[in-house]
Structure 1
C-alpha cells in the first residue's frame, strides 16, 4: 500500500494539497478521522478574503484593550480559566502586532492573498461547483458615522497601496445595494475583489470528490499514529497501515499535537468561533456577507439560511462551549438583518489555528526528510487553502514555488 504522499487532514488546506499533488501525478492518500470538510472548513463565514491584506492583530489602543478586558464584547471574549495557557502566546501576539511588524506580516501574506481568488475559481470550475463561489465582495458596515468616515479614509489609502477594488457607500447607497439593511448603518465599505461562498463545507467536499475522481484516495485514520517507517512515513487507517515517502501535516489546530512528538514546538493556539443559521423574516434577501465592525460579527447568506458567525473566543480546546458571545451578537443582529427563528439545533463551534506572528506554517520540517507542514492559517483557512495547496505541491515536486516561502518556514519558531 505504499503511496508517494500521505496528507493528514481533510479540511480545505489538506484537500487542496492532496488535489494539487495528484494533479502533478503523485499517488496520494488523504487521511482524516472524519469526512472531508467537517471541521473549521465547514463553519466559517464563507469569505475568500482577497482584500484582507492586513492580518487581524492585537489591538494597540488602550480603549479597545480595556473594552475587551471587561469581557462583555461581542467581538472578543475569553475564558478566565484558559488565560494562563494563552499568556505566552498573547505576549508574542501583542509584540508582533506593533505597526512595523504588522506591516511586515501583511507584506509576507500578500503573495498568497493575491492568488487566493484565482486558485479557488480554478478548482471550483474543475470540481463543478462554480455556483458556490459568488463575485459579490463583502461589506464592512459601520453604525457610527464618525467611525465610518474615519475608516473610509483609511480604506481608500489601503485600496490604493494594494490595488484593491473598493467602493465607499453612504447610508442611501448601502440601502440601494442591500435593501434589508435600511436604517441600521451609517455607511459601509464595499470590498469588491473577494468572493463569497454559500456553502463552505460543500465546496471542500466538492474539491475532495474531485481529488477522488482524479485517482486520489481518502481513508478514515488516526493522524496521531504517524511515525517514520524506513525512508518514509506510516499512518494507521481503518483499512490498515499506509506508507509513503512523504507526509503532509494539514490538521489545523491539531497539527501542533502531531508535530510535537517529533520535537517541533509550534506556538499554535485556537481562536474559537461559533455560528448559527436563521430563517429570514421576509425582508429583502441579503446578497453578500456583512461584517458589523463595531460589534465584531458577520452575517452571510448561505444555502441553509442566514449564517451568523461570531468574533474571537479565547478558550482551551477542552473547555465546554459558551453560548454567551453568540447570544449577544444575535440580539444586536436580529433587528438589523431581520433574523427569524433559529434553524440549527445548537450552535456550531470551530477552532481557528493561529500563530502569534500571523503567518501560516508552510514548508519542510527541518530535521525529518519527507515531513511537510501546512497549517496555522488563522482566520484565512478557506481563503488560503487552494493557494497553499499549490505552493506546497510545487515545493514537494521540486519546482520553484511561485513565492518565497521563507516567511512561512516551520523553523522560524
Structure 2
C-alpha cells in the first residue's frame, strides 16, 4: 500500500485529522479537488466558539415558526423547490430539538466544545499562525432591552456552570468596547473565551503546511473514485491511484457522494450561507459581533475588511446563488456597523454540513472495515476541526479516546 491512511477532504476537519494521524507515525495522504481550506472552511465568520455550549436547535415557538413560514426573515430563507428534499430532515430536526433531546445533544457536544480552543492553540503554535488569531472573544449584540434582559441571567448561569467568562454590556459600555457599533444596538453579552480568526482559509492552509512539513502528502484527486480493492481502499489522483488500509471521509457537505453509494443512509443536509466583504466607514471592529435578533454576523478580517455572514438558506445543492439574505441584512449592517462599499465581485456561497440531531458523525463505518467518517459539524466545523482530528486519530490507532465517541457514531441513524 502507498499509505496507511487516505483523508478525503482538505477543509479544517480533514486537514486537522491528517495532522493528528501523521503525528502518530502513520503515512498519510490528504486528497482534495481543490487546495486546502478553499470551500466551506474558507467562508465562515472565523470563530473558534468555546462558548457555544448549546447547539443550534430548531425553533419551537409558534411565533418564530410563523415568521419563518412567511419566508421574509433575515436569519432563514427557504426555496420552495427544496422543501420535498428537506421535509423529512426538518421533521427530525424539529423532533430532536425538543427540550429533553436538545439538552442531551448539548451534553454530548460539551466534551468537544470544551477542548476546542486548547486543540486549536496547539496547532496554531506549531503552524506559526498566531498572527491570524485574536484572543478577545466575541459579542452577542441585542436590539431590544427585553431580549437582552431575558438572556443575561441565563448566560451568566451557564457561564458559572461551564467555567466560561461572560460580561454584560449596556449601550454605553458596548460602544466604548467597539466604537464602530451604532445606536440601533442597545447592549450585548461579551463572551471572552472564544477566539476569532482573521482569515479562516489562511488558517487551514497553515495547518496543511504543517502537515506537509511533518512528512504528510497532499495531492489533488477525486474522492468519488474511492473503491475497496483487496483489503485496501483506492482513490484516483493527479499523481496516480493511491491505496491505503484506512480512508477518512471528511468532505463536509459532499460526504454523501462517498457514503451514499456504499449504502449508508445518514441524514446529512447542507444549510447554505453567504458572505461579502465591505470597506468599513467607522472604526474597525476588534472581534466578531452577531446581531442576535436579526441572525447575521459581522467579523473583522485581514486587510481591514468587514465580512458579513448570513444565516441559513435551504436550497438544493446545485441551485444557483440567490443572495437574498445578504440583500436583506445589508441595510441593517450598514446602520449598526457602518459597512461601506462591497469589495467582492459577487457574494461567496458556502454550505454548512448538518445532521438533524446536532451531532457530527465521527468514527468507523459499521459495515466497511477501514472506512472512517468525520463530517456533519453543523455550524461549528472551524471550531471542532482539531478536536475531531484528535478523537479520530485516537480511534484509528487504537489509543484510549479522550472522550466517549459513542454519541457521534454513524450507527445512530440505522
Q: Same fold (TM over 0.5)?
A: yes
Aligned to 1:297: 296
Residue number in structure 2 paired with 1:179: 179
Secondary structure of the structure 1 residue equivalent to 2:306: strand
> 1:286 and 1:150 mapped to 2: Cα distance?
26
- After superposition, residues 279-294 of structure 1 pair within 5 angstroms as 279-281=279-281, 283-294=282-293
CA distance in 2, matches of 1:34, 1:101: 38
Note if contact 2:18-2:30 (Cα within 8 Å) is conserved in structure 1: yes
Structure 1, unmatched stretches of 5+, are none
Q: Is residue 369 from structure 1 mapped to residue 375 from structure 2 by the alignment?
A: no
SS in 2 for 1:36: coil
Please name the residue that 1:326 is paired with: 326
Q: Where does residue 19 of structure 1 map in the other structure?
A: 19
Runs of 4+ in 1 over 6 A off after TM superposition: none
Larger displacement relative to structure 2 (153-162 or 373-382): 153-162
Query: How far did 1:184 drift?
Result: 2.5
Q: Secondary structure at the residue paired with 1:244?
A: strand
Residue-by-residue CA offset, 1:345-401 (whole Å, 9 max, x unaligned): 000000000000000000001111110000000100000000000000011111011
Shift of 1:151: 1.1
**Cα distance in 1, alignment partners of residues 184 and 285 from structure 2:** 14
Indicate yes or no: 2:49 matched with 1:73: no
TM-score by length of 2: 0.98
Residues 296 and 329 in structure 2, CA contact (< 8 A), matched pair in contact too: yes
5+ long unaligned stretches in structure 2: none
Asked if the contact 1:139–1:190 (Cα under 8 Å) also holds between the matched residues in 2, the reply is: yes
What is the match of residue 8 of structure 2? 8
Q: Deviations over 1:41-85 (max 9, x none)?
A: 000000000000100010011101111111111101100110110
Q: For residues 193-244 of structure 1, give each alpha carbon's deviation from its aligned partner in whole angstroms, at most 9, with x where no partner exists.
A: 0000000000000000110111100010000000101112000001110000
- Deviation (angstroms), 1:182: 3.8
**Distance in 2 between residues matched to 1:161 and 1:230, nearest whole Å:** 51
- Aligned-pair RMSD on alpha carbons? 0.8
Q: Do 2:182 and 2:338's aligned partners in 1 also have CA atoms closer than 8 Å?
A: no
Report SS of the residue matched to 2:262.
coil
Matched, 1:113 2:113: yes
Report if the CA contact (8 A) 1:121-1:133 is conserved: no
Note if contact 1:54-1:106 (Cα within 8 Å) is conserved in structure 2: yes
Partner residue of 1:86? Answer: 86
Q: TM-score, normalised by structure 1?
A: 0.99
Q: Confirm or deny: 8 A CA contact 1:10 1:37 kept in the other structure.
A: yes
Separation (CA, whole Å) in 1 of partners of 2:54 and 2:234: 38
Listed one character per residue, the Cα deviations across residues 85-120 of structure 1 (whole Å, up to 9, x for unaligned) are 000000000000000100000000000000000111
- Residue 161 of structure 1: CA displacement? 2.3
